[in-house]
Amino acid sequence: MNKNLKIIKFIFELLRCFPHLIIFLLHKNKPIIQADIRRWKEILNIKYSIPVSLIYLLSFYKTFRNVFYYRIGFPKYLLNIFCPQISTLIIHTKNIGEGLFIWIGFSTAIGAKSIGKNCTINQMVTIGVKNGGQTTILDNVRINPGAVIFGNITIGNNTVIGANTTIYRNIPDNSSVFSESSRIMKWDKGFNPDAYEKKSIHDGKSDFSLEI
């Protein structure tokens, strides 16, 4: 998109998203939304002011709309008519700390018990429930594409969950957990994949499951 078209689109979006701006300025969650905007600005190298950045993000990053609507609650049902969010990005988490960044967000379901500050979630991620237990995600966690996390477990601070990794155990702080599904492993007959578990320590701490 060239510069002139971008300016025209921004003017159109300013008119369309003006109600969003008013709600942002008056909403009780304004400080948290501001923190979200600041983190998106930092990651995407956006130089505008907070109000202008809000309009810009709502205009050009649909995943931000999902985050914004999560923060404002009930008004989202009206605003979504004029400025629709991504329908395949579902957020069902009661408490999410400031600075949530969702990249692409396609086919992603976030059903954690709680999420801490500055979490990054990519596309095709599932954070679900097992036997009624939900996951607690602490601060500064990055969850890469295709990851599956479920159960009554805790993902520690400053943790990276690798692409296509399945997590069903507690992950300690300062860990990196990666799938090894690209490995080809040949098993003797009689091997039961449902009973298979592989434990690997990436930094002397992390546990993860390997799905072949």
User: Are the beta carbons of 120 and 141 closer than 8 angstroms?
Assistant: yes
The residue range of the domain holding 57 is 1-86
> Is 145 contained in some domain?
yes
Q: Convert the pLDDT of each residue in 50-87 to its tens digit.
A: 999 999 999 889 999 999 999 999 999 999 998 999 99
Read off the pTM: 0.80
Token couple for 39:
């983190």
At residue 185, the pLDDT reads 42
Other Cβ atoms less than 10 A from the Cβ of 47: the count is 7
Any bridge partners for residue 155, and if so which?
A: 137, 171
Q: Is residue 95 classed exposed, middle or buried when 0-12, 13-18 and 19+ CB atoms within 10 A define those classes?
A: exposed
57 with 135, same domain: the answer is: no
Residue entry with tokens 């930092």: 42
The residue type found at 32 is: I
For the stretch 123-164, pLDDT in tens is 999 999 988 899 999 999 999 999 999 999 999 999 999 999
Query: Last residue of some domain: 86, 113, 135?
Result: 86
Rounded Cα–Cα distance for residues 143 and 168 (Å): 14
What local confidence, expressed as pLDDT, does residue 194 receive?
Answer: 43
> 69 and 162 share a domain?
no
Q: Which of 58, 86, 114 is the last residue of a domain?
A: 86
For residues 73 and 98, membership in a common domain is answered with: no
